[in-house]
Structure formats: structure tokens, C-alpha cells
Structure 1
């Protein structure tokens, strides 16, 4: 089984990684961005190198943009597909190898995951899921979010050495996504393990070791959720997963794959939103003081946190036909990568983009949740968790001191911090 997984990884990700390393040695800014992100290093300089070369940087295998207007247009254009296989996977030998080594487990970044299918399948999935994530349904979760945050804050106050990532930022989202999936509290440690372990799958081409860990988590998660789904068929609850099962519009594989997607995407985005927000507010005490003086600004602050340090950094699309967008021509099959963190720092849209400003009037124009038909379903839930959690944290503690310099996680797409050990003063 291990050899099979390695061959699948080599065909899907190993070949693209070889190209990236080769391009990085030639000082290509995109390749450098990808590798330095994976090493946990800051990448703003590479983003600005790409920006300096115009709205669209073309390469032999793909094009890349950090331009907000072009990125938005592509994300909204239905002539682009969200099904973007690695370029090398289009060759017949590689396609054959992928078929022969198929891992046979639900993968949240492969069809039939909602983020990797196009209409009409995407439309069908979205219609089934959108109602449980509408504004009214999310507001019903407010009371639970408040209760979870209060419990976590009490734990932080009682802990001699709290870690604001491990003990706070990770715990709230896993509790809420557990409620969305109808998973009992005793399963939350496993949900947390699978969520963290699966994060590299959302990268463009993860290394073999984290990929292997992620696949093991997928297998364990699939076994649990297959049993859990069967249980909810017999005894449904008032949760999103029960509603999806009762609707009957998804087969078992579609249910399992999109459950894995809801777990990974719903968990990771909010974890990094909270962690990034804490670091930004610690580094900009004048902005924190403004929020304490004018707490009605917290919704805008969450948007600025999302803009300034986007939890999701990269997405891609492939042209399904010869087309033109914003004056740029794309041939059928052309792959376009959009660096969302770069688009969120486009000076044509956000003046003085590297200034963190919770009063920024157009901060909500960020692309951190994507745009178009694939806009993140859980965006408003993440916003609500962010507002309640961060405001409550800073209301509860008069002073927070980070005990060490934060270190970035070694992932490309999901942008956050490894740990945030802190001293808290009530």
C-alpha cells in the first residue's frame, strides 16, 4: 500500500516538485514563492517581483497573477474550470499510472469534492449545502460559539503556559465543525488530528512525508465517517451532515468526500484567521487599542485580518476554451494560478497595502474566500467565529505577551503559525 501511495504521489506531485526546484535555481519568483512558503519563510518580496512584471506572468507550464482585478475576473468566469490536474498528469503514461495507483479513499481536493467539480455537478452539490450555511442557520450557531469561547478562555486563564494556537485558535473551529458534522465531543481530538494532518493536501505539490501522513489521516477519517454517516441515517440530528444525508442527493462517495472537505476547509481557514489575527494585533497595539475603544469596529477588523494575512494563499483555474479576459488571451487548457495574498495587497485596490488598518473602508473586497461560484461556503461562519473569539479574548485579558517569536507553518496554501505560547494577564 505504501508503494502504491508513493507512486501516486510521484505522478501527481513529485514531477511538479522537480520542475519547481529547477525553476527556483533559476531565481523564478513563483518557484521561490512556493518553496519559501513551504519552508515557513516570508514571501512578500517574491509576490512584489511577480507584480513588477505586469498583471500576468506567463510561464511554459502555467501563468500566475497577483492582480486583484484579473484574479476576480477569472474566478467569476464560468469558462474556467476548477478541475486543475498537474500539468504532467495530462500525459497518457502519467494518466495510466494514476489510474493504476488510485488510492481509493475520499480526497477533499479531488472530484467529487465540491471545490474540484464544475457545473452541473457543482451546482447540484452547492444547492444541497447552501441552505445549512445560510445566514439564519449560522446565527443559530452564535450561542454555541459564545459558550465554546467562554469555556476555552476559562481554560486559558487556568493554564500556567497556554499556547494560543493549540489551546484556543485550533479548539474553537474544531468544536464548531464537529457540531456541523454532528460528531460527538469525544471525537474532536481525532478531527483535530485529521484536519492538521490533511492540510498539505491543499498545497500545490506537497512533499512525500506530509502527503503520507495526510493519506493515513484520510483513511482513518473515511473509516470513521462511513460509520458515522450510517449512524446518522438511522438517528439523524439537527446538523448539516444529517440534512445532507436525509436529502438523498449525494451518494456515499460524494458524502464522504465532501465531509472530508467540510472538515478540512471549515477547520483550517478559521484556525489561521484566529492565529493570524492574534499576531497582527500583538504587532499593532495601536489598532488593538482602537478596537477596545470602539468595539463596533470588530467586523471590519476581521476583514482587514483576512486581507492582510490571508489564511488561504493560492487557487488555480484552467481555461476550458480559447478565451480572453481583461485583455489577456488564454488558450484551451491554459492553467492560471492566482496568489490570493498578493491580490489582497494590490495597491490599485488597497492603498498602502502593507499597512494594517482596521478602519480600512474596502477591506471586505479581499479574495481570501475566493469569488464566483466557488466562493467559500463557510465564509460567514468563519467571520462570526473570528469576531466573537478575538473580541472575547482581548476583553478577557488586559494584556497578552507572546513568549517567543512566532514561526510560520510549513505549508504553501494554508497560511498560519505553528504555535503561539503566551503569558496572559486577566
Structure 2
């Protein structure tokens, strides 16, 4: 009875903190109308771009309700992301939160450098060439499965199962349960911006526990039977380049990042194309433009909307004093529509020539290591979708993720249309 009472008290304290923080955020959003806080709630959560422009109009930086800073200025975002005097955790930090350890994503050098270097070869140009055929086969199979229905939800039909299949293959997860991995990805990815409810907290705990058990079993298997996969490489480096307690967080990071970036990139791309029928028609006429669609989507509506850095020193940027230990929220979605960098920044144009400098994958030492794989998957998916479903159009309203950090559709109903051509 004592143990049960302690659990209840702990749950009550957690709920009090969680909902108290949400209440304060709602006050700042709805009563004080603070733009940064309004990004967290509808309609700002559903369409943050008008709010980014309000923030831009206030100057290079705004002060958040917690006393930190935020910016949508592209030049400042890029400078902060590339500066070695800003980090993802305090310079004297003893390590990330054990309850939600995202490996090198929330570590500074030298640990960041060591762990990133360990996985980087898995995303080399040679490995991407090896993956292309497998990605094409997976997309073809998913589109074949969708051929029998006039209407489908693009997220569970294509955008979600593709990255799950690819990242579990890269890791070396045999007989992966796609539906379970999708649940894990959604739960853990949604927690990157903070827990939303007690139910969400339970989903995150369950996902973390299940993945920890699965990866621990895989480590044991690959110690006995090594294969040509990333988990085998981690096991081979255990005790030298990576410590045993670092291996599960590293695999979970790769799973979340491999899923979240690609599923939302594909979903956002198709959503933007259907919002702009002329751009969809251009892709259908020339499916070779799929790579350009990917880059323009990353600029126009990126899957990751923001990140944060903490200053190691007292410094000054654009006339703003930034004290040591102060966080700066780098609003990537706003920076990618900075009119000082991008012509007609609010226009989705797959033929634009000035979009290469987007910050969708961050910049500096934390530039996304999996970028080549995400771009490959999305490019192949969009090219084959245009080839095999040229009559694609909406069949219902988009339902978006409930997150201010990760942006993408949970549901995107479409119909193949009368012009669909399968099995060319």
C-alpha cells in the first residue's frame, strides 16, 4: 500500500507540473497574445508562418516568457547553429536527462563528435547508392498495395511505412513490426517538444521500455551472429568507441530521426503539391523534378520547425546581449522564409534557384547526419508517386500532428483520380 501511495503522489506531482506549465503557456498565448507562446496552440500550431512574420517584424530577437530569446532571422540562425560557443546543453553539463536521452543530438563535443563519427559511415554516398534499389522496391510495393483502392490515406499507405522499412533495415532489425515502430516514432517524436498529457507520458514510457528490451536482445544476437548492419557495427565498437549504456539511446535516436524527418517530409511535400496544382502538374510532366520538390518542401514547410542553443559566453548578436547560460530558440521554419534570403519567400516554387541555403537540417556540427537518406527516400517516393498516380488529388481534410516542433500530417486522404496509371 505504501508503494502504491508513493506512485500516486509521484503521478500527482508530475500532473501538477505538466498541466501547470500548460496553463501558463495558454495564459501567455491567449491572454497576453505573446507570439512565441501562440506557436504552441491553434491556430498557430496549425499554421505557424503568419506568427513567424509577426516575430520577424519585432526585430532580430524577441524575448520569450521564460526570459530566453527567439529569432527567425536566417543569418542569425545560421550563425548561432555554426558557432562553437553555442551548444545543445550547458558547457559544464554532466550529461542529458536519463529519462529522455537522445544520444549525440543533445550532447556537446567531444561526446557528440565521438558518437556521430560512429554512425556517419552508415549514411555515406556509397551506402546511399546501395540503398536506392531497396527504396525503389519498397515504394513500388506500397504503391502496388494502394492500387486497389480509389481513395487512400497517404500517411499510412506510403509516407510512414517507407522510412520504417528503411531505418529498420539499416539498423538490422529482423521482422520489424511496422505498426509498432510507427507508434514508437509518433510517441517519442512528439515528446521532443515536451509531454502533452499523462496519456502521452505513458505512451512514451511504454515505447521506451519496449525499444530498450528489443535493442538489448538485438545486441546479444549480433554479438553471436554479426551482420552487415549498424547494430553489428555498434556491438563491434562496444567498450571502445561507445559505452554499453550509450547504445540503446543511440539506436532510439536513429529510429526517431529516420522516421520523423522522412514521414513528415513526404507528407508536407504532397500536401504542398496538392495545394498548388500547377506545381503537381509540373512534377507529373517531369518526374525528374522530384529532387527539386524535396528541397523546396524543406525550405517552404520543413518537418523540424525549431531547435535551441545555449550560449557558453556573454556575447552580443545584432545588438542583443546574450548572457552565458541563456537559450536561443532558432525558429527554422521562419528562417526558411526570410525575405532577405529567399525571393517570394512565401511562394511554393519547385523551380526556384535560391532555395539551397535552407536550414531544415540545421547547420554546423549538428547538421543532420541522416540527411542523404531522408532526401533519397522522399525523392524516390515523390518521383514514383507522380509516375504512377498522376491524377492524385485530395479526398478529405488534412489532420496535422499535435506538435510545435515536428510539423507534418497524421492523415492526408487522397484519391488516385481517373488519370492514374499503374505498373508502367
**Stretch moving more, 238-247 or 202-211:** 202-211
Do structure 1's residue 411 and structure 2's residue 403 form an aligned pair? Answer: yes
- SS of residue in 2 equivalent to 1:35: coil
Counterparts of residues 328-407 of structure 1 (less than 5 Å)? 328-407=320-399
- SS of residue in 2 equivalent to 1:162: strand
What is residue 214 of structure 1 aligned with on the other side? 204
CA contact (8 A) 2:401 2:408 kept: yes
Residues 5-48 of structure 1 deviation map (CA, whole Å, 9 limit, x = unaligned): 6646766x5564344223212010000112237x8522222111
Structure 1 residue 186: Cα displacement: 3.9
Provide the C-alpha distance between the structure 1 equivalents of 2:20 and 2:126, rounded to a whole number of angstroms: 46
**Stretch moving more, 199-208 or 374-383:** 199-208
- SS of residue in 1 equivalent to 2:163: helix
**Among residues 19, 28, 37, which one is paired with 1:23 in the alignment?**
28
Residues 240-269 of structure 1 deviation map (CA, whole Å, 9 limit, x = unaligned): 222122122212221100111111111011
Provide the C-alpha distance between the structure 2 equivalents of 1:227 and 1:355, rounded to a whole number of angstroms: 49
CA contact (8 A) 1:269 1:312 kept: yes
Structure 1 residue 231: Cα displacement: 1.1
Residues 205-229 of structure 1 deviation map (CA, whole Å, 9 limit, x = unaligned): 5343323211221111111111112
Q: CA 1:330/1:168 → structure 2, altered by over 3 Å: closer, same or farther?
A: same
- TM-score with structure 1 length normalisation? 0.89
Do structure 1's residue 230 and structure 2's residue 205 form an aligned pair? Answer: no
What is residue 47 of structure 1 aligned with on the other side? 52
Residues 254-286 of structure 1 deviation map (CA, whole Å, 9 limit, x = unaligned): 110011111111101100001111111111121
Do structure 1's residue 126 and structure 2's residue 116 form an aligned pair? Answer: yes
Residues 114-172 of structure 1 deviation map (CA, whole Å, 9 limit, x = unaligned): 11000111111111111111111122111110110110010010235421101110010
**Among residues 61, 78, 81, which one is paired with 1:75 in the alignment?**
81
Structure 1 residue 297: Cα displacement: 2.6
**Stretch moving more, 240-249 or 349-358:** 240-249
Provide the C-alpha distance between the structure 2 equivalents of 1:316 and 1:205, rounded to a whole number of angstroms: 17
Provide the C-alpha distance between the structure 1 equivalents of 2:229 and 2:334, rounded to a whole number of angstroms: 36
- SS of residue in 2 equivalent to 1:310: coil
Structure 1 residue 188: Cα displacement: 2.7
What is residue 304 of structure 1 aligned with on the other side? 296
CA contact (8 A) 2:195 2:201 kept: no
Which sections of structure 1, spanning at least 5 residues, go unmatched? none
Structure 1 residue 330: Cα displacement: 0.9
What is residue 318 of structure 1 aligned with on the other side? 310
What is the number of equivalent residue pairs in this alignment?
Answer: 406
CA contact (8 A) 1:175 1:185 kept: no
Q: CA 1:84/1:283 → structure 2, altered by over 3 Å: closer, same or farther?
A: farther
Counterparts of residues 137-286 of structure 1 (less than 5 Å)? 137-159=127-149, 161-204=151-194, 206-248=196-238, 249-286=241-278
Provide the C-alpha distance between the structure 1 equivalents of 2:88 and 2:12, rounded to a whole number of angstroms: 25
The alignment yields a C-alpha RMSD, in angstroms, of 2.4
Structure 1 residue 63: Cα displacement: 0.5
Provide the C-alpha distance between the structure 2 equivalents of 1:149 and 1:3, rounded to a whole number of angstroms: 49
Provide the C-alpha distance between the structure 2 equivalents of 1:395 and 1:27, rounded to a whole number of angstroms: 46
Provide the C-alpha distance between the structure 2 equivalents of 1:157 and 1:329, rounded to a whole number of angstroms: 58
Structure 1 residue 325: Cα displacement: 3.5
Provide the C-alpha distance between the structure 2 equivalents of 1:339 and 1:185, rounded to a whole number of angstroms: 38
Q: CA 1:55/1:203 → structure 2, altered by over 3 Å: closer, same or farther?
A: same
Structure 1 residue 287: Cα displacement: 1.2
Counterparts of residues 415-426 of structure 1 (less than 5 Å)? 415-424=407-416, 425-426=420-421
What is residue 34 of structure 1 aligned with on the other side? 40
Provide the C-alpha distance between the structure 1 equivalents of 2:412 and 2:22, rounded to a whole number of angstroms: 30
Q: CA 1:216/1:121 → structure 2, altered by over 3 Å: closer, same or farther?
A: same
Q: CA 1:317/1:211 → structure 2, altered by over 3 Å: closer, same or farther?
A: same
Q: CA 1:228/1:177 → structure 2, altered by over 3 Å: closer, same or farther?
A: same
Q: CA 1:53/1:345 → structure 2, altered by over 3 Å: closer, same or farther?
A: same
- SS of residue in 2 equivalent to 1:78: coil
Q: CA 1:118/1:155 → structure 2, altered by over 3 Å: closer, same or farther?
A: same
Q: CA 1:108/1:206 → structure 2, altered by over 3 Å: closer, same or farther?
A: farther
Provide the C-alpha distance between the structure 2 equivalents of 1:168 and 1:258, rounded to a whole number of angstroms: 26
Which sections of structure 2, spanning at least 5 residues, go unmatched? 1-6
Provide the C-alpha distance between the structure 2 equivalents of 1:360 and 1:242, rounded to a whole number of angstroms: 42
